[in-house]
């Protein structure tokens, strides 16, 4: 998880362009961010932050809106592209090709995959508390805060038609979805979550805790009623002779 913490920090928190929405819970969010700045990687849970009077438990998971077979179709296709790319020997000329990442993207898959991952990790929270208690990290005099960092890794993001003139298309944010709000409200062992996704050329992060649920409800998306827009990402790969690469010594090869 150590590398994951670095990746998350680099991807989502090192760019001023990325937005964090918090619906008035700025004070609590800033407190959480302060705890996260001292988080230590762990196996179970993924990370924790330990202070004199508090312990933050952090669990991270991903999902996307592609069809799930033996895993994410999106991830499977991208992994196959990676495998083929690294099997190619040095060509005589620059060669490019395009691969559609066809994952049967849908709002039904979005809901199914997010719910499955949420429940899978939520059911482990009490076990994580026991593990940290056995190590002396959680003690009777310390407050425990539990948090999920949830990544919607759908390439290009998820969108729906609003039917509103001037704003015909809108992004789908997990904390705005009716099914997720139902899940979160009925999860007393989870205090808060940061939900990340790609939306219109940047990453958006939404912070939610139990105090902000009613605010999200006012703008909730009824997922059964929306017209989902299914986009098919296109991946472009290329290989080139070393003589055509300006700084070949900087290339790192995958083993």
Residue 237 burial by Cβ neighbours in a 10 Å radius (0-12, 13-18, 19+): middle
What is d(CA 255, CA 245) in angstroms, rounded to the nearest whole number?
20
Q: How many residues does the chain have?
A: 255
Q: What is the pLDDT along the chain (255 residues), one digit of tens a residue?
A: 667 788 888 888 876 656 678 887 889 999 999 999 899 999 899 999 999 999 999 999 999 999 877 667 777 777 877 887 777 776 677 778 788 777 789 999 999 999 999 999 999 999 999 999 999 999 999 999 999 999 999 989 999 999 888 889 999 999 999 999 999 999 999 999 999 999 988 899 999 999 999 999 999 999 999 999 998 888 877 777 766 555 544 444 433
DSSP secondary structure string, 64-115?
Answer: -SSPBSSSBHHHHHHHHHHHHHHHPPPPSS-EEEEEE------HHHHHHHHH
- What is the Cα–Cα distance from 7 to 40, expressed in whole angstroms? 14
Helix or strand or coil: residue 203? strand
To which residue do tokens 């090869």 refer?
253
Q: How far apart are CA 76 and CA 102, in angstroms?
A: 10
């Amino acid at each position: 998880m150590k590398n994951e913490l670095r990746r998350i920090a680099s991807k989502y928190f090192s760019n001023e362009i990325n937005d964090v929405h918090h619906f008035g819970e700025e004070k609590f969010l800033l407190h959480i961010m302060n705890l996260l700045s001292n988080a230590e990687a762990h196996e179970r849970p993924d990370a924790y932050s330990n202070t004199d009077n508090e312990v933050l438990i952090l669990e991270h998971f991903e999902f996307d809106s592609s069809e799930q077979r033996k895993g994410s179709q999106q991830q499977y296709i991208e992994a196959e592209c990676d495998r083929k790319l690294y099997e190619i020997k040095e060509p005589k000329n620059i060669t490019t090709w395009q691969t559609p990442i066809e994952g049967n993207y849908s709002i039904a898959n979005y809901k199914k995959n997010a719910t499955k991952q949420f429940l899978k990790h939520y059911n482990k929270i009490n076990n994580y508390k026991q593990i940290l208690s056995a190590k002396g990290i959680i003690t009777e005099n310390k407050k425990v805060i539990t948090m999920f960092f949830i990544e919607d890794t759908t390439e290009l993001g998820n969108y729906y038609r609003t039917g509103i003139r001037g704003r015909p298309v809108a992004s789908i944010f997990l904390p705005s979805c009716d099914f997720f709000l139902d899940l979160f409200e009925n999860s007393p062992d989870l205090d808060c979550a940061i939900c990340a996704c790609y939306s219109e050329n940047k990453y958006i992060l939404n912070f939610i805790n139990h105090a902000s649920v009613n605010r999200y409800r006012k703008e909730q998306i009824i997922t059964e009623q929306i017209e989902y827009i299914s986009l098919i990402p296109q991946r472009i790969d290329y290989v080139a002779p070393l003589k055509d690469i300006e700084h070949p010594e900087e290339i790192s090869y995958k083993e």
